[in-house]
Structure 1
Amino acid sequence: MPDYKGTTALVTGAASGIGEALARELAIRGASVICADRNLAGAEATANAIGPSARAIECDLSNPEAAATLIEKCWATSGRLDLICSNAGIGHRGSPVQEDMLNSDSLQALWEVNFYAGLKIAQSYARLLEHNGSNGRLLVTASENSLSVPDAVKKGKMAFYAATKHALLVALEWLRIEQQDGPLELHVLLPGAVYTPLIAKALPDAALAPAELELISAERCAQVALQGIDHGLFYIPTQAHLLEDMQPRMDEITQALAVLEIEKTF
């Protein structure tokens, strides 16, 4: 297990779930951890459970200015940021046909937190690294919904949530190209079903989860995430079914090319 001693890591969404687990795992590896969340009491609980190597900071990423302010403040107080886990996210269920997309505060917050915040963090972080002649790593939590419509959640009315996560993945793929010779190493966490407090509300007993969910604990998700970073992976999937879930899209494109009689010309 790689040693994180002497490093400083920032984790957003650290009050619970994957963010809390990431903060704990990083602390176990020796990192000083900044636990950020809009729920300050929850972030403080995480930091207190970790001990002296962790501290909490309040940050509501639905505020368009919050991401840049957070990075600048953490760098100023710590003097360094070796790793940022941009993990904060919010869920949303709704129908594209039924919901008023143009006048929805909840949708605006969804895009601000799930999509823009990750890119704003990346932008601010890359600029600070370049200015200070440093290198850093950024782990962004996307979703299995970035890649496909998993069978297990097809009835979940998650079109808008999935759209934010798909857009996030594509933007990060382009950012990866731009940062090929830059100071920022990018990693994208692609979790499937993770047993967080949000899921626990609907499923109090994890043992009763349908087998097709391949439900994992937040601790296991965090361990896979850090293992992926250790290996320098860009895509970090947490369950094997993610590959299968993408296959129907590939099959339909293959069939469409055959129907349209379009063949590769080079």
Structure 2
Amino acid sequence: MRLNEKIAIVTGGASGFGAGIVKKFVEEGAKVIIADLNIELGKELAAELGDNASAIEVDVASGDSVKAMIDQVVTDHGKIDIVVNNAGIGHIPQPMDELCETVFDRIFQVNAKSVYNLAHYVVPLMKKAGSGAILNVASTGGVSPRPNLTWYNASKGWMITATRGMAVELAPFGIRVNAINPVAGDTPLLKTFMGEDTPEIREKFLSTIPIGRFSTPEDMGNAACFLCSDEASMVTGVAMEVDGGRCI
């Protein structure tokens, strides 16, 4: 029960890595708000997990939507101890000069601006409380980029730098900020990164991961739980690679 009685928000928590983080947090005693654009999927997961999980619809790219969500959580729970910025999108592999501006803008709204939006409304609450943990789900792509995913990689590199900057600035207020860098996982985003899902392309991806498998939602949940728990009270500004050796 490492997160007993903690109030945690997990964006993009209805599926994939986010759902793995939500499940682990609930197992460890937290009350978890699944903040997702897909509210129906979020409600399904909340119903599966019981009274310590609930779902709120939010578009993390919209400041107004995030504010409404934060206000609701504070009304319902009185505080926010943990925020996991997990919501993210990718793009089909393609040359950097061919990606259209609309897709580029959406990638940075969801992967980067969302971190700003959550911080804008949550950090003042955490400063007042004198404690808090923020976790940004970045990517190995932000450390060791793959070709033809340049703008996605750049958005995740932004998240890693933001994590370090936030950690330094917020440490005096008792707020820790870390990131995790998963390698590709068998989640709804996998096909986006691969372009198409075939045994040959999967084998090519797996050949770059020394441990020989994709990241799982459970892997992310375990890493996230540690970094957001008091066990990691001396850990801040870290971008932990949960990647089976991919970045070595």
**Normalised by the size of structure 2, how large is the TM-score?**
0.85
From 131, 136, 147, give the equivalent of 1:135: 131
CA contact (8 A) 1:61 1:113 kept: yes
Is 1:241 aligned with 2:245? yes
Further displaced range: 70-79 or 164-173 = 70-79
* 2:98 match: 98
CA contact (8 A) 2:43 2:55 kept: yes
Where in structure 2 are the equivalents of 1:173-212 lying within 5 Å?
173-199=164-190, 202-203=196-197, 210-212=206-208
Q: Which consecutive residues of structure 1, in runs of 5 or more, have no partner in the other structure?
A: 245-266
Post-superposition offset of 1:82: 1.2
Q: How many residues align?
A: 234
Structure-2 change in CA distance of 1:204 and 1:4 (3 Å):
farther
CA contact (8 A) 1:14 1:37 kept: yes
Q: Which consecutive residues of structure 2, in runs of 5 or more, have no partner in the other structure?
A: none
* 1:171 match: 162
CA contact (8 A) 2:160 2:239 kept: no
Distance 2:144 2:130 in 1: 36
CA contact (8 A) 1:137 1:184 kept: yes
Percent identity of equivalent pairs: 22
* 2:38 match: 39
* 2:106 match: 109
Post-superposition offset of 1:240: 4.3
Distance 1:62 1:123 in 2: 12
- For the residue of structure 2 that corresponds to 1:197, the secondary structure is coil
Paired AA for residue 61 in structure 2: S
Question: Which structure has more RCO (C-alpha within 8 Å, separation ≥ 6)?
Answer: 2
Where in structure 2 are the equivalents of 1:30-109 lying within 5 Å?
30-93=29-92, 94-100=94-100, 104-109=101-106
CA contact (8 A) 1:90 1:114 kept: yes
Q: Which runs of 4+ in 1 moved over 6 A?
A: 204-207
Paired AA for residue 84 in structure 1: V
Q: Select the structure of larger CA radius of gyration.
A: 1
CA contact (8 A) 1:228 1:236 kept: no
Structure-2 change in CA distance of 1:207 and 1:166 (3 Å):
closer
Distance 1:108 1:76 in 2: 32
Structure-2 change in CA distance of 1:112 and 1:8 (3 Å):
same
Post-superposition offset of 1:242: 4.4
Post-superposition offset of 1:80: 1.2
CA contact (8 A) 2:130 2:173 kept: no
Distance 1:22 1:198 in 2: 16
